[in-house]
Chains A and B, each alone.
Chain A
Amino acid sequence: MRLWMLIVAAVILSFISLFVGAIDIKPSDLLDFDSDKMQIFLASRVPRLMAIILAGAGMSIAGLIMQSLSRNKFVSPTTAGTLDAAKLGIVISMVFFTQVTYMQQILFGFAFALAGTFIFMQLLDRIKFKDVIFIPLIGIMFGNIISAVTTFFAYESEIMQNVSAFFMGSFTLVVSGRYELLYVAVPAIILAYIFANKFTVAGMGEDFAKNLGLSYKTVLNIGLVIVALISTTVVLTVGVIPFLGLIVPNIVSLYLGDNLRKTIPHTIALGVVFLLACDIFSRLVVHPYEIPVNTTVAVIGSAIFLVMLFRGKAYAK
């Protein structure tokens, strides 16, 4: 796969995405700047596209970093408790402050996502039995425990329904003014690219990194901050999108290897293409209504994940 093919695909899908929806907007409608259709286009379609691009790229990069640092192909924000921890943080902020601000939600979500991922990495360090499948299973269990706590808090304060709607991964509610937080992913991804070589070296283990004079702990911590930052902003703005951070980096790794300098651009592009395709499908399948994108991603993603598990166990070792 060449990078330009992915970019071309992303551009075509972006174009389609802009002109798919309940209200029929044609490119020619955009000639009149003051029309209603133009307003919808600017307030809804463009923000939606940007949100998909940012979330797709961000979640894929977060997964890539986690797989590199945990040295396990099946670890991702979904399978290491990161997303669950971010959710817990956000719910606690809702329970804690009656008039919760956006900033408070971000801070709580970020702090919890960081702490949750950090605890998971510490767990990894202590587990002797490092089977490729076993580790993400522990991560999923860990995530479920966190989720149980979240449910408890949400139930106690009677915001259960709000919470489940809030975290349902979907771009339906993305309008201008409600998604800009996602732009945090841009500096986070740039930072990831700057640190790409360091992540690759750290991905070969602490001893290996130390041999090359690299401060392993610093790199690990920077990686976790990037992951927590991206995960929290995505969860807050569009909800939980499962599997994306798991399958996209793995597909890229299969054809391009694990040298992050090389794979980061492909991972971004493939993440965008995959999420755009899923979103367009979600909007067309019951047109003029739509299904939440996380449903589509979960169905396609889990199928790909299963194929990876069965066919790729040898490769993931």
Chain B
Amino acid sequence: MIEIKGLSKFFAKKPVVEDVSVTIQPRTITSFIGPNGAGKSTLLSMVSRLLDSDTGEVLLDSANVKGIKSQEFAKRVAILKQANHINVRLTIRELVAFGRYPYSKGRLTAEDEQKIDEAIEYMNLVDMQDKYLDELSGGQKQRAFISMVIAQDTEYILLDEPLNNLDMKHSVQIMKILRKLVDELGKTVIIVLHDINFASVYSDRIVALKDGRLVKDGPTNEIINSEALQEVYDMHIPVQEQDGCRICVYFNSHS
């Protein structure tokens, strides 16, 4: 379980995240949503220790993350920031192998090789595992990075806008994979999402932020309704049911 307690971050004395407290339930997908500049990515970066918080603390299974060794932390929490700017010419397999770095420091054991094979297979990348990353489409690249995170074999997987620059088909594909990671492999996924409908259809819980503050935190059904969303986005968002999913139809709304 990850507990976020009173977390704040200031940039030039201006609060970007202010006094946010959230508990992340194990084996769920939790989506961070909110308008631009709400502090979603900053919050995720602090949870994953990429950024230091100014006040508050993050507890990973009741231990403050600041006290955990980098190596140890890398075996328990994986963070994937927007990966499309990475321009290193590695093959998919080489990239996935680096997921084992916290365990093996690059000297791969038989167990590492097995985990790499499994991760590649899980993401359906076996046929193209020797292709270079720069030869891949956006969706394939994103799958390669998720495959690396699977090889990293952490309980927690944090993703910062993984659907950025992906078309509809690949976005759906990635979200289905994340769902599988939770349902089949028992992972806990925290994800920053821009598209509220992906958050609605695929996540178990939603954390809504606005101007650095926590506005809503609860099961998806409690957040995806017009009243709650009005508070988060300052606009009227009609919600419709479609095949048991709640879809926000905001494209023609009057605020």
Q: CB within 8 Å of B: which residues of A?
A: 71, 196-198, 200-201, 203-205, 207-208, 210-215, 253, 257-259, 261, 315-317
**30 sampled A-B residue pairs with Cβ under 8 A:** A198-B106, A200-B98, A201-B98, A201-B101, A203-B88, A204-B88, A208-B81, A210-B49, A210-B50, A211-B50, A211-B74, A211-B80, A212-B98, A212-B101, A213-B72, A213-B73, A213-B74, A213-B75, A214-B70, A214-B101, A253-B89, A257-B90, A257-B91, A258-B89, A259-B91, A259-B94, A315-B89, A316-B87, A317-B87, A317-B134
Interchain pairs with CB closer than 8 A, number: 68
B interface, by DSSP: helix, strand, loop or mixed? Answer: mixed
Known: A197-B98, A257-B94. 11 other contacts (CB 8 A): A71-B87, A71-B88, A197-B101, A208-B81, A211-B50, A211-B74, A212-B98, A257-B89, A258-B90, A259-B91, A261-B106
B106 touches which of A197, A204, A213 (Cβ 8 Å): A197
B154 to chain A, nearest CB (A): 9
* In the complex, B78 has a CB within 8 A of chain A: yes
Q: How far is the CB of B105 from chain A (nearest CB, A)?
A: 7
The 8 closest A-B pairs by CB, nearest first: A213-B74, A197-B106, A257-B89, A213-B70, A258-B89, A213-B71, A212-B101, A213-B102
**CB-CB contacts of B43-61 with A at 8 A, as 1s and 0s?**
0000011100000000000
Please state if B102 and A212 are interface contacts (CB–CB under 8 Å): yes
* Contact yes or no, B88 A200, CB < 8 A: yes
List the A residue with the shortest CB-CB distance to B78.
A211
**A253 cross-chain contacts in B, Cβ below 8 A:** 89
Size category, B interface? 20 to 34
Knowing A201-B98, A213-B71, A213-B73 are in contact, say whether A207-B50 is a contact too (CB < 8 A).
Answer: yes
Contacts of B94 in A (CB 8 A): 257, 259
Q: Is B132 an interface residue (CB 8 A)?
A: yes
Q: Does B79 contact A (CB under 8 A)?
A: yes
Interface residues of B in 82-102 (CB under 8 A from A): 86-91, 94, 98-99, 101-102
Asked, given contacts A197-B106, A213-B74, A213-B102, whether A205 binds B48 with beta carbons under 8 Å apart, the answer is no
Q: Smallest CB-CB separation from A255: which chain B residue?
A: B89
Whether B86 and A208, one on each chain, are in contact in the complex, defined by CB atoms closer than 8 angstroms, is yes
Task: List chain B residues, Cβ under 8 A from A196.
Answer: 106
Q: Once the chains bind, are A212 and B134 in contact (CB under 8 Å)? A: no
Pick from B72, B106, B132 the residue with the most CB of A within 10 Å: B106
Chain A minimum-CB-distance residue to B160: A207
Bound CA span A211–B132, Å: 22
- Inside 8 A of A316's CB, which chain B residues have their CB? 87
How far apart are A222's CB and chain B's nearest CB, in angstroms? 15
Min CB gap A314→B, angstroms: 9
Say which residue of B81, B88, B91, B105 sits within 8 Å of A207 (CB atoms).
Answer: B81
> Which residues of chain B are near A200, meaning CB under 8 Å?
88, 90, 98
- Given the interface pairs A210-B70, A213-B71, the reply to whether A258 lies near B88 with Cβ below 8 Å is yes
Residue of chain A at shortest CB distance from B79: A211
Compute how far the CA of A259 lies from the CA of B81 in the bound complex, rounded to whole angstroms: 21
A8 CB, min distance to chain B CBs, angstroms: 26
The answer for the CA separation of A257 and B133 in the assembled complex, in Å, is 10
CA distance A258 to B134 in the complex (A): 11
